[in-house]
Structure 1
C-alpha cells in the first residue's frame, strides 16, 4: 500500500515546470466561486470537443455500440453533454484535491452511508464499486470524508503527477493500493477495510471474460470482482457520484449492499456486475467516461470495433 507521499526536491526540476504551471492555474481557479468554476468547466469542455478529434470519434463510436436503439441525433446530444462533462471533470479534480472539507460539504449531498455501516457491523469488508464517472475524483473525496477507505489506482508514469494524484486522493482516505496488488486487496478486505474498485473499463484479454454490456454482446469484462469477492467474503456496494443539473452541486448516492453476490462462475459474476454498472451509468449517462475505448478487446479472430 501507498502511504502519504513524501515531497522530493527532484519534482522541482525544470522538466516539470509546465506541469507546475498547470497545477497552479487549476488551484487558482478553484478559489473562484463555484458558479464561475462551473461555467468555466462547461466552456472548457466545449472547446475540448473542437480539438480532441480522436476522442470525439471514440466517444461517438462507444455511444453507437452501447445505445444502438437510440437515434443518431439522440446520441449526439449525449456526446455534446459528455464533452461539457469532460471540462467540468478537470475542474472537479481540482475541487477534490484543493477544496477544504467544509466547502465540499456545502456543495455536496451524500446518501446511503448506512449501507456501509451495515456491512461494517456485520464484520465484512466492503468492495466499493466506483464506476468511471468524470466526477470520479470528487466522488472519492466525498466518500472518504464520511467513511475513509483504500483506493485502487494505477501509478502514473510521471513522478510529479503520481505524487499529486496520491496526495490529492489521500486527503480523505487511508491509503492507496496498486491495482495489480490483488493479494493486498484481498488481505485488506478480510480485515474489514473498504476497497474502492472500478470493474467497468476494458483492461485487456488477460483476466477477462466476454459478456454483455449495454448493446455489446461480447464486452471484455474483468474477473476481478469475482476473485476479490469470492476470496475475501466482502459485500459489494455500488456508488454513484453525479453532478446536479444547472450547477447546483453534487450528490453521492451509495446504493444497497449485496451481501450474497452470485459467485458460482466468473462469467455469471461479470454478467451480474455489468447489469449493476449499466443501472449506475444510466443515473447520469452524460457524465460517464465514454472517451476511452471501452470495447477495444475482442475475442480472437473477431474484427476490431474502432
Structure 2
C-alpha cells in the first residue's frame, strides 16, 4: 500500500505508461488468467480471429495494470485531483431517479477501472455499494476506508435484506450482477454468444422487494489518455418484474451494451462461465 501510495503521486500520463508496462509484464506470470481471458473472448465472440482475440488479451492486461494504479488513485488521491480527470454524461438520469424517493439500484459492470468508478460516482452523488469483504482484516480496513471516501457505506453482497432496506429508505445502491456467483439463486441466460450463462437472480429479487428505479453506471477510460467518462444511462422502463428468466436475459443484454463501450477494459480474467447446466461440459481447462 505504501508503494502504491508513492506511485500515484506521479503525473497521470506517467501512471498510464506504468499501468501499461505492469499489465503487459504480468502476462508472463499470470498464464492461467491469460488462458481464461482468451477463452472468454473466444466464447463470447466466436467470429473474432485468433489475432483479434490475442490483441484484445494484450490490451486487457494493459488495462489490468492500469486498474492497479487506478485503485491507488481512488483510495489516495484528494477530491480535487480526481475531479480534474473525469467528465460525466447523464447525471440528470440518476438525479431524476433519486428525486422520486423510491431508491435507485445502480447496475455496474466489472471494468478494470471499477475502484476509481466508485470514487468518481461518489463525488457526483454519494451512494452505497454491494461488495465482497476482504479475507485479510488489514486489507478490508484499507479498501473499505478507500471506497468510503466519497460514498456513504459498503454492504456485504450477501446482505440482500440490508440492500432492500436501504433502497426502501430512498438510497442509491450500486450492484454488479455480471459475474458467475454459482448455481444457487441463478438463472441460465444468454451472454453474448454463450447461450447458458449463470446469471444471478439478485437483481430480480431486489427489484420485486424494493421497487427501485434501475439504471446502469460505468466509468470508461478514454483511449486518448485524457482521463475518464462516467456514463449514466436512463432508468429502465421495461424491466420484467413478473418473469425471472426474462429479467436475467434483460439484464445481460444491458450489461453487454455497457461492455461494448470498451471491451478491452472489461474483467475477462474472471471465469464467467464456470457454472454449467447439469450434464453440459465444462468450458475451461484451467
Report 1:1-306 matches (<5 A).
23-306=1-284
Structure-2 change in CA distance of 1:187 and 1:259 (3 Å): farther
For 1:89 and 1:105, the matched residues in 2 are separated by 18
TM superposition score normalised by structure 2: 0.98
**Which residues of structure 1 form unaligned runs of 5+?**
1-22
Q: Deviations over 1:54-93 (max 9, x none)?
A: 0000000000101111111111111110000000000000
More off after superposition, 189-198 vs 69-78: 69-78
Q: CA offset at residue 146 of structure 1?
A: 1.0
Contact 1:110 1:142 in 2 (8 A): no
For 1:144 and 1:133, the matched residues in 2 are separated by 17
Q: Deviations over 1:16-50 (max 9, x none)?
A: xxxxxxx0000001101111111000000010111
- Runs of 4+ aligned residues of structure 1 deviating over 3 Å after TM superposition are none
3-state SS, counterpart of residue 51 of structure 1: coil
For 2:239 and 2:102, the matched residues in 1 are separated by 13
For 2:240 and 2:13, the matched residues in 1 are separated by 44
3-state SS, counterpart of residue 180 of structure 2: coil
For 2:283 and 2:78, the matched residues in 1 are separated by 43
Q: CA offset at residue 246 of structure 1?
A: 3.2
Matched pairs, number: 284
Q: Report the structure, 1 or 2, having the larger helix content.
A: 1
TM superposition score normalised by structure 1: 0.91
Contact 2:98 2:172 in 1 (8 A): no
3-state SS, counterpart of residue 220 of structure 1: strand
For 1:58 and 1:241, the matched residues in 2 are separated by 24
**Which residues of structure 2 form unaligned runs of 5+?**
none
More off after superposition, 115-124 vs 273-282: 115-124
Q: Deviations over 1:150-207 (max 9, x none)?
A: 0101111111111111000000000111000111100110111011000000000000
3-state SS, counterpart of residue 245 of structure 1: coil
Q: CA offset at residue 260 of structure 1?
A: 4.7
